[in-house]
Chain A
């Protein structure tokens, strides 16, 4: 009963949010007929700076990485071509799969953890709260502080048995956890740290998406008897779906590619418990001085990331056509 009325409100809301519509029903055809001669040339010039930068800053290192990954050289010399040997070495090493596993877990927790916290705070901040604007700025701080510094602060809070948080646990009778020394706890701590660093980004994304929702939708829905939960799941969530997908993609890239958060807090330890693929790639290249295999790890990681991004990208396209 109320489901259908909520659905109506939802449709109204969708129309309200995107009056211009992502579908662009009439625009393009009109325009192309009028200005097509000029358009493609102009478009080319508009794109040119970004193409140059893309080739220079992203294309060149990607090709270079491709060369390094198939050679046995160092950072200085290219060395001999070894074909797929580096990839074979990497793929047959248990350390790689362990790191891949941790990266997956780290990314999932990082993306959804920060999304959930960000969503909760965005919803809370959307309501009328005294000094709400101040809180919003304050809550952005974890994202703003350089990781070199916040990792040090976190170390201070958890590293030794006498640090603030372990002492707190002890006083509460919860034992004496070693947050960075125990492999499981260290993994959890790194993930919590990542969520702490990332949730402000999510909060900002969601706040902005929520702000463009027409509030009358909710009034209509609650008049029709939709519960809070129904309002949330039937109206709010679908309305922020597109920005959610985008934020998930971006955060996936941020998490998979994240080096300093992990490296500065745990160095990848204890005993590899928090070694992600980027950390493994870094340590292989710069500490084991095995350039080829290290770059091969980064290369494999990049390819996986591309596949995930493309899948999520399709999802966005779908959700905007809907």
Chain B
């Protein structure tokens, strides 16, 4: 085929054929590495694929895997398989999998992912799951208000399974050292911040560097704290309201007084953790489980009570993480049966102290493994009832919030505020037009 020369055909056997031998050598190698696929795609119809994120340490995923794979369905329903999906580029991973019909039947994921994929017609509504939870009594066990945000006109887009909260934390010893009371409202935060600065600590620890969205959340949290928020009750964009302006002016005041670390704008989560660990951070918004996260469980780092804004408003942020089902499933009934079962097993994860989030069920908040931590109790008692979602001032979630949460507009706004070289109104104006341009479609 290559040629008809006899000289060349004898040459085929020669050892000089580096290229060919290399090609030949690689064939078995490739065959060997193809091995993984055979078992993977053996029977795509035989199992409910459940995809989960690394929500905490690897021990969490091990435990969740055990729950999913230990599921023994009633006859006629399918078993479940478990797959951890990395956070890095996860939207890419889900999109490409769904587009190629190799995606999951059931999954956790980004906070607003279910709404995004619902828009694209990929989500199976969870009404029957909710019915199932009503039937087995778990429906009444939900903490107040956690399920409503998922109810769309067409049905429940997803089912919440944990609440990722943003609350204020403080380091007791720094306040003692500065001879201060822990702030209870915005003005005392400002005064405390000024005093803390004298002992080299920061009164509003946050960060907005590569991959860190705590800074973004801090901005919205302060707006919500002041009774503001980015959307109206009807879900319309409402960036320029007075409460937001006031909140941003306050944030800028914190920045200009050096109460926010000037390098915050570039802090990754690791930098922010170090700030808490190294006793540079005295007060600030963060996720649950800060002591474990920064490796200081001496009890010095504690949850503060919600602050009162200038008009007496209180508020925190909550991201109701949820489990969604997809239309691309071998059996919708099996997806539903698995999800109902999985919801019933969640308690196990908090029992093993694997979670950095609030449970959605009252009964789990009462188990000793959870309730023995005073910070947890305080969050459930003081923060959960007043916590609002990104949809604030409204409370219906939508795919718009994904753009707000991860998008460039909020990140630019946050970084502009943290660098302090702006005024509240013009920063909000830019923020609004940035959001408008991506949301207009």
Q: Do chains A and B touch in the complex (CB under 8 A)?
A: yes
Measured CB to CB, the residues of A under 8 A from B are: 38, 41-42, 45, 72, 74-77, 95, 151-152, 155, 159-162, 178-181, 183, 186, 263-267, 269-272, 283-284, 286-290
A160 to B280, CA, bound (A): 11
Name B120's contact: one of A74, A152, A155 (CB within 8 Å): A74
Q: In the assembled complex, how far is the CB of residue B354 from the closest CB belonging to chain A, in whole angstroms?
A: 25
A181 touches B89 (CB 8 A): no
- Residue among A74, A181, A264 making CB contact with B266, cutoff 8 Å: A181
Q: Report the minimum CB–CB distance from B270 to chain A (whole Å).
A: 7
CA A289 – CA B91 in complex, angstroms?
A: 9
Q: Are B99 and A267 in contact (CB under 8 A)?
A: no
In the complex, A271→B415 CA distance in Å? 5
**Distance, CA A146 to CA B265, complexed state (A):** 25
Looking at A155, A162, A181, the one whose CB has the most chain B CB atoms below 10 A away is: A181
A4 CA / B1 CA spacing, docked (Å): 56
* A82 smallest CB distance to B (angstroms): 10
State which of B210, B262, B416 has its C-beta within 8 Å of the C-beta of A267.
B210
A160 touches B419 (CB 8 A): no
A45-B2, A271-B415, A290-B438 known; A76 vs B266 contact (CB < 8 Å): no
Chain A residue at minimal CB-CB distance from B19: A46
Choice from B95, B262, B411 contacting A75 with Cβ under 8 Å? B95
Q: Are A76 and B411 in contact (CB under 8 A)?
A: no
Q: Which of B1-18 contact A (CB under 8 A)?
A: 1-3, 5
Contacts of B155 in A (CB 8 A): none
Given contact pairs A38-B3, A287-B406, A181 touches B264 in the complex (Cβ within 8 A)? yes
**Which residues of chain B come closer than 8 Å to A266, judged between CB atoms?**
209-210, 266
Flag B247-291 by CB within 8 Å of A: 1 or 0 each. 000000000000001111111101100110010000000000000
**Chain B proximity of A37: nearest CB distance (Å):** 10
CB distance from B279 to the nearest CB of A (A): 12
Chain A residues positioned under 8 Å from B406 (CB to CB): 286-287
Contact A269 B271 (CB under 8 A): no
Let me know if B441 is at the binding interface, CB within 8 A.
yes
A and B contact pairs by CB, cutoff 8 A, 30 listed: A38-B5, A76-B95, A76-B98, A155-B268, A159-B271, A178-B263, A180-B209, A180-B263, A183-B419, A186-B266, A264-B210, A265-B210, A266-B266, A267-B209, A267-B210, A267-B411, A269-B209, A269-B265, A269-B411, A269-B412, A270-B265, A270-B419, A286-B89, A286-B91, A287-B403, A287-B407, A288-B407, A289-B402, A290-B438, A290-B441
Contact A180:B403 (CB < 8 A) given known A75-B99, A76-B98: no
A47 to B62, CA, bound (A): 49
CA distance A20 to B262 in the complex (A): 61
The residues of A that contact B5 with a CB separation of less than 8 Å are 38
Question: A267 contacts which chain B residues (CB < 8 A)?
Answer: 209-212, 411
B103 to chain A, nearest CB (A): 10
Q: How far is the CA of A151 from the CA of B88 in the complex (A)?
A: 15
- The answer to whether A76 and B210 have CB atoms under 8 Å apart is no
Of B1, B3, B209, B266, chain A has the most CB atoms within 10 Å of the CB of B266
- Are A155 and B92 in touch, CB under 8 angstroms? no
Q: Are A76 and B99 in contact (CB under 8 A)?
A: yes
Distance from B430 Cβ to chain A, minimum over Cβ atoms (Å): 10
In the assembly, what is the distance between CA of A283 and CA of B267, in Å? 19
Known A72-B441, A74-B95, A75-B96; contact A270-B3, beta-carbon cutoff 8 A: no
Cβ of A288 and Cβ of B403 under 8 Å apart? yes
Q: For the complex, what is the distance from the CA of A72 to the CA of B441, rounded to whole Å?
A: 9
Residues of B within 8 A of A151 (CB): 210
Which 5 residue pairs of A and B lie closest in terms of their CB atoms, listed nearest first?
A180-B266, A267-B210, A75-B95, A181-B266, A181-B263
Interface residues of B in 79-98 (CB under 8 A from A): 89, 91-92, 95-96, 98
Known interface pairs A178-B263, A181-B266. Does A159 touch B120 (Cβ–Cβ under 8 Å)?
no
Taking the complex as formed, is B408 at the interface, i.e. its CB lies under 8 A from any CB of chain A? yes
| Chain B residue at minimal CB-CB distance from A290 | B438
Q: How far is the CA of A178 from the CA of B89 in the complex (A)?
A: 28
In the complex, what residues of B have CB within 8 A of residue A288's CB?
Answer: 403, 407-409, 438
Give the residue name and chain of the B residue nearest to A161 (CB).
B263
Q: Is the CB–CB distance between A181 and B262 below 8 Å? A: yes
Residues of chain A with a CB closer than 8 A to B209's CB: 155, 159, 180, 266-267, 269
Among B202-218, those with CB < 8 Å from A are 208-212
Q: Once the chains bind, are B416 and A271 in contact (CB under 8 Å)? A: yes
- Given known A-B contacts A76-B120, A155-B271, A286-B91, A271 and B419 have beta carbons under 8 A apart: yes
**Residues of B contacting A179 in the complex (Cβ-Cβ under 8 angstroms):** 266
Query: Residues of A contacting B116 with CB < 8 Å?
Result: 289
**Per-position binary interface string of chain B over residues 183-217, scored 1 when its CB falls under 8 Å from any chain A CB and 0 otherwise:** 00000000000000000000000001111100000
Q: What residue of chain A has the Cβ atom nearest to residue B99's Cβ?
A: A76
A160 to B281, CA, bound (A): 13
Mask of B389-413 contacts with A, CB within 8 angstroms, 1/0: 0000000000000110011110110
List A contacts of B268 (CB < 8 A). 155, 159
In Å, the complex CA distance between A286 and B89 comes to 8
B241 near A: Cβ within 8 Å?
A: no
A233 to B130, CA, bound (A): 78
Bound-state CA distance A291–B172 (Å) is 47
Does B332 belong to the interface (CB within 8 Å)?
no
Q: Which of A42, A160, A264, A271 contacts B412 (CB 8 A)?
A: A271
Once the chains bind, are A284 and B95 in contact (CB under 8 Å)?
Answer: no
Report the separation of the CA atoms of residues A41 and B263 in the bound assembly, to the nearest whole angstrom: 64
Question: Is the beta-carbon distance between B208 and A269 smaller than 8 angstroms?
Answer: yes
Q: How far is the CA of A76 from the CA of B5 in the complex (A)?
A: 52
Which residues of chain B come closer than 8 Å to A286, judged between CB atoms? 89, 91-92, 406
Cβ contacts under 8 Å, A155 to chain B: 209-210, 268, 270-271
Shortest distance from the beta carbon of A276 to any chain B beta carbon, whole Å: 14
Q: B122 near A: Cβ within 8 Å?
A: yes
What is the minimal beta-carbon distance from B286 to any residue of chain A, in angstroms? 17
Q: Which residues of B contact A264 (CB under 8 A)?
A: 210-211
Q: Which of B27-60 contact A (CB under 8 A)?
A: none
Instruction: Specify which of A75, A271, A272 lies most central, judged by the most chain B CB atoms within 10 Å of its CB.
Output: A271
A224 to B406 CA separation, bound complex (whole angstroms): 66
Q: Are A289 and B403 in contact (CB under 8 A)?
A: yes
Give min CB distance, B167 to chain A, whole Å. 24
> Nearest-CB distance from B96 to chain A (Å)?
7
Of all chain A residues, which has the CB nearest B1? A45
Cα-based distance from A159 to B269 in the complex (angstroms): 12
With contact pairs A42-B3, A161-B263 given, residues A269 and B415 touching in the complex (Cβ less than 8 Å)? yes
With the chains together, A183 CA to B419 CA distance in Å? Answer: 9
The answer, among B1, B261, B262, B408, for a CB contact under 8 Å with A283, is B408
